[in-house]
Amino acid sequence: MSRQVSASSVSAAGVERRPPGWRVGVPLILALLVAVLAALPAFAPYFYIFVGTEILIMGLFAASFNLIFGYTGMLSFGHAAFFGMGAYTTALLLLHFEVPLLWALLASMATSALLAAVIGFFSVRLGEVYFAMLTLAFGMMVYAVALQWRSFTNGSDGITGFLLGDFGLGLDLQLADPAVYYRVVLVVVVLAAAVLYLITRSSFGLILRAISENPERVAFCGVEVRRHRLAAFVIAGTFAGLAGALFAPFNRVANPDMIHWSQSAEPVLMTILGGAGYFLGPFFGAAVFLLLETWITSFTEHWMLVLGIVLALLVMFFRRGVLGTLLDRMLRR
């Protein structure tokens, strides 16, 4: 790229320059990764299939959080409310109506979107500090409802004993088989991630990134910031609901723990661990997080303490996360 000498002094690092082969290389690596993940049940023991399922689901949960945090600059401490909403919707539909899984997933997205629209309406009106506070508070409201409305939610025990039947669309799938369920999760998560990716690259995504940096300037460009924040919040809630809906049959229970604020801390940490604002950061972060959790809980029950310390250290010293730091190195070489 040739640049004539102007009043500007631009360092080479500032130019968005990607390594040669980037446009081909990255999709190729991703396709390979998905292929390996799809083949996993053929050679890996069940334990890894379970871990893989959980990483995919939590990765989607964190990726949905990243849309509002990494891309729009809004820090929510109540994202688990939508995860829980999805989980309860699916669990209740499977328990009472034995609907095909696909319909339960879609219904869960709808209920989570509705909940996100209501909570979002109140939370996006004021600044970031209010937003963080209100999402935590409203998230705990959902928790309180799940705990107290015993006749409907079965209180602290949650919804159990529901069975997986058909998938829907006339597909003959043995969903009770963990390997089959894993593949279903893989397909759903890849599709959902593709939609989320498209959104981040769209005009809407560009506006979100601009809002994240400087909401006031965006408003002076003629954009109604609040409506875009709300839209991002509802989309994020919808996909968090989908993640929760996938999680309930996997976990065989939907309970209030899934809604508690400490559950909301998980996508926060996963996103920051992987790299906020990088599309694959949250998936990467989810993998590291869950492997770390499995390892650490094998010798201490105080996982939350480690979680808090890791979060603090990441924010202080490693803000771009693992993937972000790696990409920075590669792109600025």
Partner 1 sequence: MSEALLSARDLRKTFGGVHAVDGVSLEIRPREMVALIGPNGAGKTTFYNMLSGRMKPTSGRVHFRGRDITGMPPHAISRLGISRSFQINNIFGELTVRQNVEVALTALHRRTFRMFRPASRDRQLLQEADAVLERLGLRELADTRAGVLSYGDKRLLEIAIVLATRPTMVLLDEPTAGMTPEETRRVTRLIRGLAETGEYTFLITEHDMDVVFDLAERIVVMHRGGLLAEGTPEEIRSNPAVREAYLGEEESA
Partner 2 sequence: MQSFIAALLNSLDIAMLLFIIAVGLNIIFGVLNIINFAHGGLYMLGAYFTYTLVTRLDLPFWPLLLLAPLAVAAIAVAMERLVLRRVYGRHVTDSLLLTFALLLIIDESVRMIWGSGIHTVRPPESLSGNISFAGVSYPSYSLFVMVAGVVLLAALWALFNRTRIGRIVRAAAIDRDMAQTVGINVPLVVTGVFAFGAWLAAVGGVVAAPARAIDPGMGDRIIIESFIVVVIGGLGSFPGALLGALVLGLIHGFGGRYLPEVNLVLPYIGMALVLLLRPQGLLGREAAA
Interacting stretch for partner 1, rule CB under 8 A, among 9-17, 182-190, 289-297, 315-323? 9-17
CA 201 – CA 217 distance, rounded (Å): 20
Residue 69 has what DSSP assignment? I
Any contact of residue 333 with partner 1 (CB under 8 A)?
no
Residue 6 site contact among partner 2, partner 1, none (CB < 5 to 8 Å, cut-off depends on kind): partner 1
Site string for partner 1, 15-54 (x = CB under 8 A): xx--------------------------------------
Contact 125, 226 (CB under 8 A): yes
Cα-flanking dihedrals φ and ψ of residue 263, to 5°?
Answer: -70, -35
Residue 253, strand partner residues: 160
Is the Cβ of residue 41 or residue 324 nearer to partner 2 in the bound state?
324
CA 188 – CA 186 distance, rounded (Å): 6
Any contact of residue 75 with partner 2 (CB under 8 A)?
yes
Joined tokens for residue 235 = 């989309």
Q: Cα 98 from chain centroid?
A: 27
Is the Cβ of residue 240 or residue 276 nearer to partner 2 in the bound state?
276
CA 121 – CA 230 distance, rounded (Å): 7
Closest CA to 310 of 264, 280, 270: 270
Any contact of residue 228 with partner 1 (CB under 8 A)?
yes
Query: Least distance in Å: CB of 103 to partner 1?
Result: 23
SS3 146: helix
Query: Least distance in Å: CB of 148 to partner 1?
Result: 37
- As a whole number of Å, the CA-based R_g of the chain is 21
Which secondary structure element, helix H or strand E, spans residue 159, and what is its range? strand 159-160
Any contact of residue 311 with partner 2 (CB under 8 A)?
yes
Interacting stretch for partner 2, rule CB under 8 A, among 11-19, 57-65, 131-139, 171-179? 131-139
Interacting stretch for partner 1, rule CB under 8 A, among 23-31, 50-58, 75-83, 201-209? 201-209
Interacting stretch for partner 2, rule CB under 8 A, among 36-44, 51-59, 123-131, 291-299? 123-131
Applying CB under 8 A, the residues found at the interface with partner 1 are: 1, 3-4, 6-11, 13-16, 195, 198-199, 201-207, 209-210, 213-214, 216-225, 228, 231
